[in-house]
Amino acid sequence: MPFILGVDIGGTDIKLGIVDDSAAAAPFSREIVSGTIPTRAGEGPELAAARVRAWCEERDAAPAAAGIACAGLIDGARGILHVSPNLAGWIDVPLRALFERELGVPAAVENDANAAAYGEWRAGAGRGLRSFVCLTLGTGVGGGIVLDGSLYRGATGFAGEIGHTVILADGPPCACGSRGCLEALIGAPAITRRARELYGAREGTPAGSGSIGSVADLARAAAAGDEIASRVFEETGRFLGVALANVVHILAPEAIVVGGGVAGAGEILFGPARETLRRCVMDASMAEVRIVPAELGNRAAVLGSALLARAEAGGAR
């Protein structure tokens, strides 16, 4: 099965990739054709699937299987998307059946963070590991778990929602309906909102904070010595550290692979996170868990979903 299609459906764009899984791509599978098309979620999943088929036809790509990833609660075993924060109106969509009908090949459906974890496992920073957790820090906070040599989905298929573990009881509201979730504290919008609140409360013009539009702006301000920016990252790192300690206490993984735009802030975030992790774990040895950067960037879910589809079609996981 040399060529497989990977599809990562986001709120704005659908990322597509044809993945070469033949011996020629050894030692690691890789994307040989990459593309992006608009999602236009309001037009519904059927038309989105039709646009994916058109993209393949335009490139004369005839994949042998297709992997579909998107954010939300997904029952991979039954191939159903229950609900997605990014795709309004896509409720209880039989995504697998829909794509199989449209593309005429076997399809696999998976949560995007789980697909990213699988991609990092097979072709990225998780290569060779048997148990690790993959965290994606961006607008949302995604989590995926590889446990004892397989992707762990739990009884419902919804396992790995580390972004919605509660870090601060009665904390700020989260998009999921709960409060104080990791995502509501360290998702990019939460970080920039806290920074703006602090700048707003301070008199005078904040040094280096001319326009805090993004986490990258804030990281630059912190690097330039801005006190408020540094304080925000310190606090964000502490929240992340609590989450890492929880993960270590529950799963004791070999490593935690961290990716996503917010992770680009680097040591100003991970320094306080490691410090908090050390303080929160029962035994110092537990804080020795390796925290390693993800390798596949924002293509992890494309590659991972394709490789999952290959594994499912081949009867192996």
Q: Which residues bind Zn ion (CB under 5 A)?
A: 164, 174, 176, 178, 181
Query: Shortest gap between Cβ of 180 and Zn ion (angstroms)?
Result: 8
Query: Shortest gap between Cβ of 212 and Zn ion (angstroms)?
Result: 24
Nearer to Zn ion, 240 or 289 (CB): 240
Tokens 């995604």 locate to 142
Query: Shortest gap between Cβ of 195 and Zn ion (angstroms)?
Result: 21
Query: Shortest gap between Cβ of 113 and Zn ion (angstroms)?
Result: 13
Q: How far apart, in Å, are the Cα atoms of 47 and each of 39, 42, 51, 73, 88?
A: 9, 10, 6, 21, 15
Query: Shortest gap between Cβ of 274 and Zn ion (angstroms)?
Result: 24
Nearer to Zn ion, 154 or 297 (CB): 154
Query: Shortest gap between Cβ of 181 and Zn ion (angstroms)?
Result: 3
Nearer to Zn ion, 181 or 294 (CB): 181
Ramachandran sector of residue 8 (left: φ over 0; alpha: ψ -120 to 50; beta: rest): beta
Nearer to Zn ion, 103 or 174 (CB): 174
Nearer to Zn ion, 174 or 257 (CB): 174
Nearer to Zn ion, 151 or 182 (CB): 182
Nearer to Zn ion, 96 or 164 (CB): 164
Residue of 315, 298, 313, 314 lying closest to 115 (CA atoms):
298
Query: Shortest gap between Cβ of 143 and Zn ion (angstroms)?
Result: 12
Query: Shortest gap between Cβ of 137 and Zn ion (angstroms)?
Result: 14
Nearer to Zn ion, 141 or 219 (CB): 141
- Give yes or no for a contact between 263 and 186, defined as CB atoms under 8 angstroms apart: no
